Amino acid sequence: MTRPIAAALNVVMLGPPGAGKGTQAERFARTHGLPKISTGDILREAVTTGTDLGRAAKATMDRGELIGDEVMIGIVGERLARPDTERGFVLDGFPRTVTQATALDGLIDGRGPLVVVDIVVPEEVLLRRLAARRICGSCGVNAPIEWTTTCGVCNGELVTRTDDGVGIVRERLKVYHLQTAPIVNFYSGRPTFRKIDGNQPPDQVTTLMDKAICQASAVSNGARL
């Protein structure tokens, strides 16, 4: 007799910088009790604590370029091996290349379907949002609009991300179009791929996303994709 596999909710958030992936991933993960895994957060933490990874990654991140696939696949492979991902996870910022997307399929083979959400936002809106974006200089959390100067978690000072400067943002968007946008084609034929209009108030995006992910996951009904 084969044991039924417990349904897991494995989610990938796609979209350019400023699309709202981090905010929406955080909300979805909290609502569904899943770990949110943000490769950008993992790298920024490594930079702040000054680990070997952080020292090696800092210059590349500051230029708005991508860290090598092998390093990133290693980081995510280790993270997905932790027991808290057994019921699923929400990935934010990974995969960012087709090589990473292919590797992710291998990493989660047999762990249930992967729901992929692509958040679509026009470029001029992204540029406006990135210029206004602030994070906490102490704990690194993304600042929601209602925090004006200090962090609501640790009282730290709100700052602009070093890679949110105008020149770097243009480079990051270029990198997105060249290296990350092809992932949309990689996933778009799958029955668990969903596009979401991210150019609307965050709460509306949250509602749409929740509906889309739950529906996609139900449709897949545990089938291997």
Q: Summarize as ranges the residues that interact with ligand AMP (CB under 6 A).
A: 17, 39-40, 43, 60-61, 64-67, 72, 93-94, 96, 100, 163, 172
User: Is 3 labeled as catalytic in the residue annotation?
Assistant: no
Nearest to 136 by CA among 113, 152, 112: 152
User: Is 190 labeled as catalytic in the residue annotation?
Assistant: no
Q: Which is nearer to ligand AMP, 187 or 220 (CB)?
A: 187
User: Is 36 labeled as catalytic in the residue annotation?
Assistant: no
Residues in contact with 120: Cβ distance below 8 Å, sequence separation at least 6, in sequence order:
15, 19, 195, 196, 197, 198, 199
Residue identified by tokens 């494995």 is 10
User: Is 96 labeled as catalytic in the residue annotation?
Assistant: yes
Minimum CB distance to ligand AMP, residue 151 (Å): 17
Exactly one of 111, 133, 190, 195 is catalytic; which is it? Answer: 133
Contact between 10 and 32 under an 8 Å Cβ cutoff? The reply is: no
Minimum CB distance to ligand AMP, residue 65 (Å): 6
User: Is 79 labeled as catalytic in the residue annotation?
Assistant: no
Q: Which is nearer to ligand AMP, 26 or 163 (CB)?
A: 163
Q: Sheet with 114-120: list strands edge to edge.
A: 36-38, 88-92, 9-14, 114-120, 193-197
Two tokens, residue 175 = 């990198």
Active site residue ranges: 21, 96, 133, 161, 172
